[in-house]
Structure formats: C-alpha cells, structure tokens
Structure 1
Amino acid sequence: MMVFTVVVVGLMVGVEFAVSFVLNPILDALPDDAGQLGRAHGGRMLGALMPFWYVGSLILSAIWAVTAWHEPGTGLVVVAAALLVVSVIMSVVLLVPINNRSKTWTPENRPDDWKEQGKRWDRYHYVRVAVIIAAFALLTTALA
C-alpha cells in the first residue's frame, strides 16, 4: 500500500511537471490558434482525470498515515497528506475556475484576456507542482 501510494503520487507529479515544463511551452510555441485549442483540449482531458488523481492520492496518503500511525516516518506522511490537501484546495479555488472557462474557448469565443488568464493558471500551477513535489519527496522519504 505504501509503495502503491508513492507510485500514484509520483506519476501525478510527473504528469503535472510535464504539463508545466514540456506540454504548455510546446503548445504556446505553436502557430496561430493551435496552442489555445491544444490547451482547451488538454483542459477537458486532464480536467476530467485529475480530480480523481488528486483526491485519490490524498486518500491513499491518509490511509497510510492511519495504518502506520506508530511507525517511524508517519509524521512525514501526515505532512505530505497536508500538502496534498493544500494542492486540492489550490486546485478548487484557483485553477479549476480558470480551467472550466478555458476548456470551452475557441478562437471565436475566447475573451480578450485569454492569454493573461492562461498565464495566471500557469503561475498557480507552478506553485501547485512545487507543493505536490514536496509531498512526493516526503512520501518517498517516509517509505525509505
């Protein structure tokens, strides 16, 4: 169960890291409206998957903390779970509202400030990635 939790959280970190530092820069470099359309598609696709991944990671971490309460490293798991709570709150309060708007945009209906909203989402996402990386590091340390 502990290894499974680390793998699930690690894969989530990898996907989110790739979104920030690989996929979005590629999409932003595409000509014309292709990048905006790609981001909208990614928002729909990942927007459907990531809530389950984030909440699932939090639940797995909480189960780990409860079942290993008196074992060494449990404090690290508790802090990691708290960081995952922060990431879920950040998602719901900061990122999901922007994503819910941007996933419906086309070149014909996007607002004038669509690029600024995308950059705001990126900034929030960088912070969220740092938070989940910290949680992953704590979980891997607790496993070791």
Structure 2
Amino acid sequence: MQDVLAVVTVVVVGLMVGVEFAVAVFVNPILDRLPNDGGVEARSDGARVLGRVMPFWYIGSVVLGAVWSTLTWGDAGASLVAAGASLVAAGAALLVVSVVMSILLLVPINSRVATWSQEGVPADWKQQVGRWDRFHYVRVGVIVLAFTLFAVALV
C-alpha cells in the first residue's frame, strides 16, 4: 500500500510540475509575444481555467505527500528508511510552502487577471503579469525540488 501511495504521489506531483513548468517556460512567453496584446485574453482564460483546477491539484499533492510522510516516518528504523522519510517530509513541507506562496502572492494577481478582457485591462497589466511570472518561477523551483525529493525517496 505504501509503495502504491509513493508512486501515485510522485506521478501526481510530477504531472503538476510539468504543467507549471510548461506554463512558466513555454505558454506564457508565447502568449506575451502575440501581436496587439493578444495574450491578455488567453492569460485571462488560463487564469480562470487553471484557477479552478490547480487548488485541488496543489492541496491533493500536499495531502498525498503528508500521508506518505506519515506512513514512512513510522517505519524510520533503518538508516536508509529514515533518510527516505526525511526526504518525503521535506518534499511535503515544500509543497506546503508552494501553497502558502500561491495563496499570498499568486492568487491575488491571478484573480484580477481572470477578470480582464481585451477591452478592459488596467494600465499596469504588463507589470502585474510580470510580477505573477516572477513569483511563479520561484514556485516552480519549489515544486521541482519537492518532486525531486519525492523521486529520490521512491528509489
């Protein structure tokens, strides 16, 4: 059961990392290069769609990591098992950090972006999405590190 939980956690977190990495490195830069600020509506739609899905994905990842950490911590007798338990606990803690970052830094901007249309954007919209992008890069780094710790603990 614990092995299944570990694999499911790594897959779920890995997929989340892939989506967030793709948004940071490919999707948003492509949208920003569209002519006539064409990326505004796409970012707004993305903010609405992903804004509904990602909270469940992030919280679900935290729960999976926390449950895996709890189960692993109870088995922490041998030194290799204890090291794995520490890696899982650290990964789960990093996912908690990513959720807190999201709530405090990214969601407020994302909520504003979700209401924008080509006809109604604030004058500083480029600065706002730039700020969101910078926070997002940091969050991606945090979840990549969490995923790496989970993957190492799995093997």
TM-score normalised to structure 2 length: 0.91
1:36 corresponds in structure 2 to: 40
1:126 corresponds in structure 2 to: 137
Structure 1 residues not aligned, in runs of 5+: none
- 1:50 positional shift: 0.2
SS of equivalent to 2:40: helix
Take 1:108 and 1:25, find their aligned partners in 2: how far apart are those partners?
A: 21
Larger Rg: 2
Aligned partner of 2:107: which letter? V
Take 1:106 and 1:22, find their aligned partners in 2: how far apart are those partners?
A: 22
Say whether the 8 Å CA contact 2:69–2:88 is kept in structure 1. yes
TM-score normalised to structure 1 length: 0.98
Matched, 1:80 2:91: yes
- 1:107 positional shift: 2.3
CA RMSD of aligned residues (A): 0.7
Q: Which moved more, 1:24-33 or 1:14-23?
A: 24-33
Q: Deviations over 1:20-66 (max 9, x none)?
A: 00100110111113211100010011110000000000000000011
- The aligned runs of 1:49-60 (5 Å cut-off) are 49-60=53-64
